[in-house]
Amino acid sequence: MKTRFASTLLLATALTASIGTAFAQSAGQLNNAVGFQFRPPNDGIPGNTTGGASRNPDFCRIQQSPTQAGNLTLLAPEAFVGHTLAESPELFIRADQTSVKQVFVSFQNLQGETLYQGFQSLTENTGLTRIELPADMTQLELDKAYRLSVVPVCQATLRPDDPVLTGYIRRVSLPQDAIPTETVSSLDMASYYAASGIWYDTLALLQAELSEEPADPSLQSAWEAVLSSGRLP
């Protein structure tokens, strides 16, 4: 009897410990999701960035905001200049069942000098398309702001009344001794970038992780938190 009781007690203890571990892991995931916050930089948008919205009934030309038109969203914050640590940052357009097949991309500094302009096809009518900047484009200078303009081509050719989606980018630096080592997880690194106000690098890290684990709730929550901070849906 004592042996049976001891065995039962040992099994119950092990089961309780197992449940406790699983609960702690779930709670940790939840805390990571809830605790992920983007801290916007104190870097206001220069001037009026709203594109020339048309009264044409064609839905493609109806501009909802500086970054949205024709079921396309330029993933750039509307409330502040997006920061990056990269000399050539990753930039994205999000499509939601759009009829647009092609966009015109222009990248300029605030003095009006064009670093790049050209057409780019959307990879799909729903989902993310990476904006492909040429490898030989002049690299972004530290502490300098740039304007990214994306024009949905609503008909066969580019027209003056096509909407203009606009975002701003500034390359910044962080103290090297403050940046986490490469051994930390991508989500932890993204959390660090988010707390430091590094918009584009945060999105790039999260996008890479979501492409591998699209159903991960912590990644989804973090992605939504960053978009919300920039007033994007």
pLDDT in tens, 25-69: 333 343 344 468 899 999 988 875 444 444 444 678 889 999 999
Tell me which of 50-59, 98-107, 172-181 is least confident. 50-59
CA 193, CA 191: separation in Å to the nearest integer?
A: 5
Place of tokens 């993933």: 75
Task: Give the global pTM.
Answer: 0.79
Residue 13, pLDDT > 70, answer no
CA 232, CA 226: separation in Å to the nearest integer?
A: 9
User: What confidence score (pLDDT) does residue 15 get?
Assistant: 30
DSSP state at residue 161: T
Identify the CATH assignment for 59-229 out of 3.40.50.10490, 2.60.40.10, 1.10.3720.10, 3.40.50.300: 2.60.40.10
Q: Is 76 in contact with 230 (CB distance < 8 Å)?
A: yes
pLDDT category, 220, cuts 50, 70, 90? very high
CA 178, CA 133: separation in Å to the nearest integer?
A: 29
Q: What ranges do the domains of the chain cover?
A: 59-229
Neighbour-count burial of 77, counting CB atoms closer than 10 A to its CB (0-12 exposed, 13-18 middle, 19+ buried): buried
CA 147, CA 46: separation in Å to the nearest integer?
A: 10
